[in-house]
């Protein structure tokens, strides 16, 4: 009997998740679509699928482990020996054990789940196709508002043109799923899914932290000391914002509801945070400097 654990390269105590990961890695490596004309790879793929079919099924794995505990030796697994005639017994010779032998030795076309196996060991169980991941770059505003993209993706032997709807609120690293648009299955299995990994181009004025957006706005020393009103950029155009007297450089103000939509949370919008930076005149003339000097002497203070 074949050592299915060895086929998948896992230990006999491997968890279901470890078995699944090993299968996916090997199936991707030896899939017929990736190894056209390579008979060895095709046979290896069948062995991997056969091993996974058994070890991923809890009942089948339990029976497999039961009959391989005692080692193969020269006869049946688990220390059983054939009696009468030179060949393996029929399925009825051992009662309930016959069904177990039929499943383990692939005899008689016994059905198990959605696939059949015959005495040659050939499996007809459908194998699902691999998921595909592709990178898509969109603009900052597109990520906020949502967008559409036309992409070309290779699926099996064909190149398909797809129109992808990108939901509002995606950010760097977000994934958009298109069910059934990954690689085709094998042996009638369903196709995998396509995942678009989003990259968002930087914006010259804004940056994001989740659904909140941030921007920096310069203000004059007059605004900082006396207070006033300044214009600030938002996603929907300019807005007016009040600056209180005594504002410090680096102080942060919130514009509620001026951020990005929260992905997957309908109607929820983040905020915009405006960070002000006190900016002195670039080339102050002598009169301006003299006035500041007089003020500094008359109204000194420690920050």
Stated pTM of the model: 0.55
Note the pLDDT of residue 266: 85
CB proximity list for 21: less than 8 A, separation 6 or greater = none
**Is pLDDT at 70 greater than 80 in this prediction?**
no
Nearest to 32 by CA among 49, 53, 19: 49
Instruction: Calculate mean pLDDT across residues 157-166.
Output: 91
Note the pLDDT of residue 91: 38
**Is pLDDT at 243 greater than 90 in this prediction?**
yes
pLDDT (tens digit, 9 = 90+) per residue, 41-58? 888 888 888 888 789 888
Note the pLDDT of residue 124: 60
Please tell me the distance from the alpha carbon of residue 257 to that of residue 259, in angstroms, as a whole number.
Answer: 6
Q: Which CATH class is domain 207-298?
A: mainly beta
Portion of the chain with pLDDT greater than 70, in percent: 81
Note the pLDDT of residue 92: 39
CB proximity list for 166: less than 8 A, separation 6 or greater = 136, 138, 142, 143, 146, 147, 148, 149, 176, 196, 198
Please tell me the distance from the alpha carbon of residue 76 to that of residue 68, in angstroms, as a whole number.
Answer: 9
Note the pLDDT of residue 69: 65
Q: Measure the N-to-C terminal CA separation of the chain; round to a whole number of Å.
A: 83
Please tell me the distance from the alpha carbon of residue 80 to that of residue 269, in angstroms, as a whole number.
Answer: 69
**Is pLDDT at 255 greater than 90 in this prediction?**
yes
Cite the residue boundaries of each domain of the chain with CATH code 2.60.260.20. Answer: 132-200, 207-298
pLDDT (tens digit, 9 = 90+) per residue, 75-128? 333 333 333 333 433 333 444 444 444 444 443 333 444 444 444 455 567 888
| Fold of domain 4-116 | Helix Hairpins (1.10.287)
Nearest to 81 by CA among 255, 277, 89: 89
| Cα–Cα separations (whole angstroms), residue 269 to 28, 209, 266 | 41, 13, 9
Q: Which CATH class is domain 132-200?
A: mainly beta
Note the pLDDT of residue 193: 94
Note the pLDDT of residue 109: 38
Cite the residue boundaries of each domain of the chain with CATH code 1.10.287.110. Answer: 4-116
Strands of the sheet with 207-209, listed across from one edge = 207-209, 212-219, 272-278, 252-255
Residues 132, 201, 233, CA angle at the centre, nearest 5°?
A: 145
Instruction: Calculate mean pLDDT across residues 162-183.
Output: 92
Instruction: Calculate mean pLDDT across residues 1-21.
Output: 88
pLDDT (tens digit, 9 = 90+) per residue, 195-211? 999 999 889 899 999 99
């Amino acid at each position: 009997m074949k050592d299915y654990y060895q086929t998948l390269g896992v230990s006999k105590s491997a968890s279901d998740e470890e078995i699944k990961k090993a299968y996916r890695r090997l199936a991707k490596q030896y899939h017929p679509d990736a190894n056209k004309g390579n008979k060895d790879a095709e046979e290896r793929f069948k062995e991997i699928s056969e091993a996974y079919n058994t070890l991923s099924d809890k009942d089948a794995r339990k029976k497999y482990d039961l009959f391989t505990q005692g080692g193969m030796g020269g006869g049946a697994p688990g220390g059983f020996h054939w009696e009468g005639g030179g060949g393996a017994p029929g399925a009825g010779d051992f009662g309930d054990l016959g069904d177990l032998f039929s499943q383990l030795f692939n005899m008689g076309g016994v059905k198990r789940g959605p696939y059949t196996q015959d005495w040659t060991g050939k499996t007809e169980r459908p194998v699902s196709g691999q998921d595909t991941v592709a990178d898509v770059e969109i603009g900052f505003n597109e990520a906020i508002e949502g967008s559409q993209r036309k992409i070309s993706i290779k699926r099996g032997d064909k190149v398909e043109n797809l129109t992808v709807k990108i939901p509002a609120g995606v950010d760097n690293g977000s994934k958009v799923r298109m069910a059934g648009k990954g690689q085709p299955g094998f042996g009638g299995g369903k196709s995998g899914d396509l995942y678009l990994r989003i990259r968002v181009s930087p914006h010259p004025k804004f940056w994001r932290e989740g659904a909140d957006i941030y921007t920096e706005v310069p203000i004059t020393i007059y605004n900082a000391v006396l207070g006033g009103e300044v214009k600030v950029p938002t996603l929907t155009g300019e807005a007016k914002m009040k600056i209180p007297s005594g504002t410090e450089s680096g102080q942060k103000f919130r514009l509620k509801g001026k951020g990005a939509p929260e992905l997957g949370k309908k109607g929820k919008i983040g905020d915009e945070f405006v960070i002000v930076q006190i900016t002195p005149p670039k080339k102050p003339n002598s009169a301006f400097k003299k006035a500041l000097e007089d003020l500094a002497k008359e109204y000194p203070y420690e920050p």
